[in-house]
A and B are shown apart, each in its own frame.
Chain A
Amino acid sequence: MVDKSQVLSLCRSLLRAGRKYPDYNIREYTKRRTLDGFRMNKNLTDPSKVEEAYAEGKSQLEVVERVVKVYLAYPPKTKNIMELKLQ
Protein backbone atom coordinates (compact mmCIF):
# COMPACT_ATOMS: atom_id res chain seq x y z
CA MET A 1 0.00 0.00 0.00
CA VAL A 2 1.39 3.38 -1.01
CA ASP A 3 1.74 5.69 1.99
CA LYS A 4 1.19 9.42 2.35
CA SER A 5 4.84 10.41 2.24
CA GLN A 6 5.30 8.53 -1.03
CA VAL A 7 2.34 10.34 -2.52
CA LEU A 8 3.67 13.73 -1.41
CA SER A 9 7.08 12.77 -2.71
CA LEU A 10 5.60 11.91 -6.11
CA CYS A 11 3.75 15.22 -6.19
CA ARG A 12 6.95 17.07 -5.41
CA SER A 13 8.86 15.14 -8.08
CA LEU A 14 6.26 16.03 -10.67
CA LEU A 15 6.32 19.69 -9.71
CA ARG A 16 10.13 19.73 -9.79
CA ALA A 17 10.26 18.02 -13.17
CA GLY A 18 7.70 20.45 -14.61
CA ARG A 19 9.76 23.44 -13.51
CA LYS A 20 12.43 22.56 -16.04
CA TYR A 21 10.30 23.37 -19.07
CA PRO A 22 11.61 26.48 -20.83
CA ASP A 23 8.14 27.08 -22.31
CA TYR A 24 5.87 29.08 -19.99
CA ASN A 25 2.62 27.44 -21.12
CA ILE A 26 3.52 23.83 -20.56
CA ARG A 27 5.37 24.70 -17.37
CA GLU A 28 2.30 26.33 -15.85
CA TYR A 29 0.05 23.59 -17.19
CA THR A 30 2.14 20.82 -15.61
CA LYS A 31 2.07 22.58 -12.24
CA ARG A 32 -1.68 23.18 -12.39
CA ARG A 33 -2.52 19.70 -13.65
CA THR A 34 -0.32 18.00 -11.04
CA LEU A 35 -1.94 19.85 -8.17
CA ASP A 36 -5.44 19.38 -9.58
CA GLY A 37 -4.81 15.69 -10.10
CA PHE A 38 -3.53 15.12 -6.59
CA ARG A 39 -6.25 17.25 -5.01
CA MET A 40 -8.94 15.41 -6.93
CA ASN A 41 -7.77 12.07 -5.57
CA LYS A 42 -6.71 13.15 -2.11
CA ASN A 43 -9.71 11.55 -0.38
CA LEU A 44 -9.32 8.09 -1.88
CA THR A 45 -9.33 5.32 0.70
CA ASP A 46 -9.68 2.13 -1.37
CA PRO A 47 -6.13 0.69 -1.57
CA SER A 48 -6.46 -0.52 -5.16
CA LYS A 49 -7.65 2.93 -6.29
CA VAL A 50 -4.79 4.57 -4.44
CA GLU A 51 -2.29 2.23 -6.12
CA GLU A 52 -3.89 2.94 -9.48
CA ALA A 53 -3.68 6.68 -9.03
CA TYR A 54 -0.11 6.44 -7.80
CA ALA A 55 0.90 4.31 -10.78
CA GLU A 56 -0.70 6.82 -13.12
CA GLY A 57 1.22 9.61 -11.42
CA LYS A 58 4.47 7.70 -11.82
CA SER A 59 3.91 7.12 -15.52
CA GLN A 60 3.07 10.81 -15.98
CA LEU A 61 6.32 11.67 -14.23
CA GLU A 62 8.20 9.60 -16.79
CA VAL A 63 6.36 11.41 -19.58
CA VAL A 64 7.26 14.81 -18.14
CA GLU A 65 10.92 13.91 -17.77
CA ARG A 66 11.08 12.62 -21.31
CA VAL A 67 9.26 15.56 -22.86
CA VAL A 68 11.34 18.10 -20.89
CA LYS A 69 14.39 16.82 -22.76
CA VAL A 70 12.67 17.47 -26.09
CA TYR A 71 11.63 20.98 -25.06
CA LEU A 72 15.13 21.76 -23.81
CA ALA A 73 16.49 20.82 -27.21
CA TYR A 74 14.34 23.56 -28.79
CA PRO A 75 14.00 26.36 -26.24
CA PRO A 76 11.84 29.36 -27.17
CA LYS A 77 13.79 32.33 -28.47
CA THR A 78 11.76 34.95 -26.65
CA LYS A 79 10.09 35.06 -23.26
CA ASN A 80 6.35 34.63 -23.09
CA ILE A 81 4.56 37.88 -22.31
CA MET A 82 3.10 36.35 -19.14
CA GLU A 83 6.61 35.88 -17.82
CA LEU A 84 7.50 39.50 -18.46
CA LYS A 85 4.57 40.68 -16.38
CA LEU A 86 5.63 38.61 -13.39
CA GLN A 87 9.00 40.34 -13.41
Chain B
Amino acid sequence: MNHGSSRVHGTREQLTSLSATSLSCKAPSARSIGTSQAKPETVQKVSDIVREQLALSADTALTAESKFSALGADSLDPVEIVMALEEKFDISVEESDAQNITTIQETADLIEDLVQKKPAAQAS
Protein backbone atom coordinates (compact mmCIF):
# COMPACT_ATOMS: atom_id res chain seq x y z
CA MET B 1 0.00 0.00 0.00
CA ASN B 2 2.83 2.39 0.87
CA HIS B 3 4.56 2.24 -2.54
CA GLY B 4 1.38 2.93 -4.46
CA SER B 5 0.23 5.76 -2.27
CA SER B 6 3.53 7.65 -2.40
CA ARG B 7 3.47 7.68 -6.17
CA VAL B 8 -0.10 8.94 -6.26
CA HIS B 9 0.75 11.43 -3.53
CA GLY B 10 3.59 12.84 -5.65
CA THR B 11 1.31 13.37 -8.63
CA ARG B 12 -1.24 15.07 -6.46
CA GLU B 13 1.34 17.50 -5.13
CA GLN B 14 1.90 18.69 -8.69
CA LEU B 15 -1.84 19.04 -9.21
CA THR B 16 -2.20 21.05 -6.01
CA SER B 17 0.49 23.49 -7.02
CA LEU B 18 -1.12 24.06 -10.42
CA SER B 19 -4.71 24.58 -9.40
CA ALA B 20 -6.41 26.37 -6.56
CA THR B 21 -9.57 24.27 -6.27
CA SER B 22 -9.58 21.33 -3.88
CA LEU B 23 -11.75 19.23 -6.22
CA SER B 24 -8.84 18.53 -8.53
CA CYS B 25 -6.96 16.83 -5.71
CA LYS B 26 -9.28 13.85 -5.58
CA ALA B 27 -8.23 11.30 -8.21
CA PRO B 28 -10.72 8.40 -8.50
CA SER B 29 -7.99 5.80 -7.91
CA ALA B 30 -7.49 6.94 -4.30
CA ARG B 31 -11.08 6.17 -3.31
CA SER B 32 -10.53 2.42 -3.32
CA ILE B 33 -8.55 2.64 -0.05
CA GLY B 34 -11.58 3.90 1.86
CA THR B 35 -10.62 7.48 2.60
CA SER B 36 -8.95 9.53 -0.12
CA GLN B 37 -5.41 10.89 0.12
CA ALA B 38 -5.09 14.08 2.14
CA LYS B 39 -3.85 17.38 0.76
CA PRO B 40 -0.22 18.26 1.52
CA GLU B 41 -1.33 21.22 3.68
CA THR B 42 -3.31 18.89 5.90
CA VAL B 43 -0.36 16.52 6.17
CA GLN B 44 1.79 19.51 7.12
CA LYS B 45 -0.64 20.70 9.79
CA VAL B 46 -0.79 17.19 11.24
CA SER B 47 3.00 16.93 11.16
CA ASP B 48 3.33 20.22 13.03
CA ILE B 49 1.05 19.04 15.79
CA VAL B 50 2.81 15.67 15.99
CA ARG B 51 6.19 17.38 16.14
CA GLU B 52 5.00 19.62 18.96
CA GLN B 53 3.31 16.82 20.86
CA LEU B 54 6.28 14.46 20.70
CA ALA B 55 8.73 17.32 21.31
CA LEU B 56 10.80 16.41 18.25
CA SER B 57 13.77 18.57 17.33
CA ALA B 58 13.58 20.61 14.13
CA ASP B 59 16.02 18.33 12.33
CA THR B 60 14.09 15.12 13.03
CA ALA B 61 12.86 13.86 9.67
CA LEU B 62 9.09 13.72 9.54
CA THR B 63 7.41 12.23 6.48
CA ALA B 64 3.81 11.36 5.77
CA GLU B 65 4.67 7.70 6.21
CA SER B 66 6.26 8.23 9.63
CA LYS B 67 4.81 5.89 12.21
CA PHE B 68 4.06 7.33 15.65
CA SER B 69 5.78 4.41 17.33
CA ALA B 70 8.96 5.02 15.31
CA LEU B 71 8.96 8.66 16.43
CA GLY B 72 9.11 7.68 20.08
CA ALA B 73 5.42 7.96 20.89
CA ASP B 74 3.87 5.79 23.56
CA SER B 75 0.31 4.51 23.33
CA LEU B 76 -1.12 7.66 24.92
CA ASP B 77 0.51 10.14 22.53
CA PRO B 78 -1.87 9.38 19.64
CA VAL B 79 -4.76 10.05 22.04
CA GLU B 80 -3.39 13.49 22.82
CA ILE B 81 -2.56 14.13 19.19
CA VAL B 82 -6.07 13.22 18.06
CA MET B 83 -7.54 15.51 20.76
CA ALA B 84 -5.37 18.40 19.58
CA LEU B 85 -6.38 17.73 15.97
CA GLU B 86 -10.07 17.58 16.91
CA GLU B 87 -9.76 21.04 18.42
CA LYS B 88 -7.71 22.45 15.57
CA PHE B 89 -9.98 21.20 12.79
CA ASP B 90 -13.21 21.36 14.80
CA ILE B 91 -14.15 17.73 14.14
CA SER B 92 -15.02 14.69 16.21
CA VAL B 93 -13.09 11.46 15.72
CA GLU B 94 -14.80 8.15 16.43
CA GLU B 95 -13.26 5.79 18.97
CA SER B 96 -12.67 3.05 16.38
CA ASP B 97 -11.04 5.44 13.92
CA ALA B 98 -8.83 6.99 16.58
CA GLN B 99 -7.45 3.64 17.67
CA ASN B 100 -6.57 2.52 14.14
CA ILE B 101 -4.26 5.28 12.97
CA THR B 102 -0.54 4.60 13.06
CA THR B 103 1.05 7.03 10.59
CA ILE B 104 0.85 10.74 9.84
CA GLN B 105 -0.67 10.05 6.41
CA GLU B 106 -3.47 7.94 7.90
CA THR B 107 -4.19 10.69 10.41
CA ALA B 108 -4.29 13.38 7.72
CA ASP B 109 -6.56 11.24 5.53
CA LEU B 110 -8.97 10.71 8.38
CA ILE B 111 -8.97 14.41 9.28
CA GLU B 112 -9.75 15.48 5.73
CA ASP B 113 -12.47 12.90 5.46
CA LEU B 114 -14.14 14.24 8.60
CA VAL B 115 -13.67 17.88 7.62
CA GLN B 116 -15.45 17.24 4.35
CA LYS B 117 -18.32 15.49 6.08
CA LYS B 118 -18.94 18.52 8.30
CA PRO B 119 -22.39 19.95 7.48
CA ALA B 120 -21.57 23.55 8.48
CA ALA B 121 -20.16 25.85 5.78
CA GLN B 122 -17.04 26.65 7.82
CA ALA B 123 -13.74 27.17 6.03
CA SER B 124 -11.15 24.76 7.43
* B83 touches A (CB below 8 Å): yes
B15 within 8 A of A: no
Question: Separation in Å of the A44 CB from the closest CB of chain B?
Answer: 13
Question: What secondary structure prevails in chain A residues at the interface with B?
Answer: helix
B76 and A42: CB pair below 8 A?
yes
- Cβ contacts under 8 Å, A11 to chain B: 76, 79
Bound CA span A15–B81, Å: 12
Distance of A38 Cα from B82 Cα, bound (Å): 16
Over the window 67-109 of chain B, the binary record of Cβ atoms lying under 8 Å from chain A Cβ atoms (1 yes, 0 no) is: 0000000111001101100010000000100110000000000
Interface size on B, residues (CB 8 A): 11
B75 x A4 contact (CB < 8 A): yes
Q: Size of chain A's interface in residues, with CB distance under 8 A?
A: 13
Measured between C-beta atoms, what is the minimum distance from A34 to chain B in Å? Answer: 9
Partner of B95, one of A9, A15, A19, A39: A9
* CB atoms of A42 and B95 under 8 A apart: no
A45 located at the interface, meaning its Cβ lies under 8 Å from any Cβ of chain B in the complex: no
Instruction: Give the residues in chain A near B74, CB-CB below 8 Å.
Output: 39, 42
Pair B75/A15 contact, Cβ less than 8 Å: no
Contact of B98 among A12, A35, A39, A42 (CB under 8 A): A12
List B contacts of A39 (CB < 8 A).
74, 76
> Which residues between 27 and 46 of chain A lie within 8 Å of chain B, taking CB atoms?
35, 38-39, 42
Interface residues of B (CB under 8 A from A): 74-76, 79-80, 82-83, 87, 95, 98-99
Q: Which residues of A contact B (CB under 8 A)?
A: 4-5, 8-9, 11-12, 15-16, 19, 35, 38-39, 42
What would be 8 A-B contacts, judged by CB atoms less than 8 Å apart? A8-B99, A11-B79, A12-B82, A15-B83, A16-B83, A19-B87, A38-B76, A42-B74
